[in-house]
Structure 1
C-alpha cells in the first residue's frame, strides 16, 4: 500500500511541473480613456502552449476597432508602431503592459465604466480563437494586480 502511495504522490508532483498544452491568458484588463472619444488601451499576458504560433489579432466586443501596438523611445521621444503579428513560442510568454506592447482600442462603448467587463477575442495564426473577459480600470487608476 505504501509503495502505491509513493508512486501516486511522485506522479502528482511531476504533473505540477508540466507546462500547459494550450495557450493561457493572465490578467486581461483595459484602461478607459481619460477623454471620451479617445482610444482606450488593453493589457494581458499570454503563455504559449505545446506548439509555437503567432498572435495575429485581438478584438474587443465593446469597441469598433482594436490594433496591437508597441511603444518605443526614438530620439528621446516616445512613439508607437502598429504590430501585425507576434510570435508566441511554445511555452513562451508575450506580455502586453504599459510602456510596451499594448492594444489600442478605438470606439470603445462610451457607456463602459470602471469595473465593467469586455470580451477579448484572441486570434492565432492557425485560425484558432480564444475568448477572455477583461475588466476596466479608470484612466488614472493603477494597474490591477
Structure 2
C-alpha cells in the first residue's frame, strides 16, 4: 500500500508548528545582565574607603540593583557625586533602576561604589570580586582590577 500526503499545506503547517514549539523556550528566556570594565581604586590614606567602578548592562526586562558586595571589603555602598556650583558632595543610593537593555555606569565623578574596610592584603595589580545583587534574585560576580590611589584603569577594567 502506497502512502500519500495529499495535503502539502497541512504538512508544511505541521513542520512550522513543530519548529516554532522547539524554539519557544529559547525566546522566553531573558538575556543575562552583564557587568564589564570593573575596577577598584585603592584609597590614598590606608583605612579610608576605596572606590569601585563598572558598567552594568541590562537585557530584556527592567531590573533593580539593590546592592553590591566585595569579597575583600567589610561593606560596600552605592554612591552618587553631586555638583552644586563649586561644591561637590556625595550621597548614598539605596537602589538603582536598570532599564530593559539600559546601562548603569559607575564611573569617576558620577555614580560609584564606596568600599569600606578593605583587606590590607589587597594591592595594586591584584583583583577583587564584586557581586551585583538584583531585586529578582539575580547575582552577577565579576573580577575587578585593583589600581593604586591616583591611578586610572584606562578603560581596561577586568571583564
TM exceeding 0.5: yes
Q: Tell me the TM-score normalized by structure 1.
A: 0.83
Runs (4+) off by over 3 Å: none
Q: Which of 125, 129, 133 is equivalent to 1:119?
A: 129
Look at both structures and tell me which one has the larger radius of gyration over its CA atoms: 2
| Cα distance in structure 2, aligned partners of 1:53 and 1:136 | 28
Residue 131 of structure 1 aligns to a residue in which SS?
A: strand
Alpha-carbon offset, residue 141 of structure 1: 1.1
Residue 37 of structure 1 aligns to a residue in which SS?
A: coil
**Residue 133 of structure 1 pairs with residue 138 of structure 2:** no
Q: Which of 72, 78, 94 is equivalent to 1:84?
A: 94
Residue 132 of structure 2 aligns to a residue in which SS?
A: strand
| Cα distance in structure 2, aligned partners of 1:119 and 1:142 | 18
**Residue 104 of structure 1 pairs with residue 114 of structure 2:** yes
Report the counterpart of residue 50 of structure 1 in structure 2: 60
Alpha-carbon offset, residue 49 of structure 1: 1.2
Residue 112 of structure 1 aligns to a residue in which SS?
A: coil
Q: Tell me the TM-score normalized by structure 2.
A: 0.76
Q: Which runs of 5+ in 2 are unaligned?
A: 1-29
| Cα distance in structure 1, aligned partners of 2:153 and 2:139 | 26
Alpha-carbon offset, residue 144 of structure 1: 2.8
Q: Which runs of 5+ in 1 are unaligned?
A: 1-19
**Residue 36 of structure 1 pairs with residue 46 of structure 2:** yes
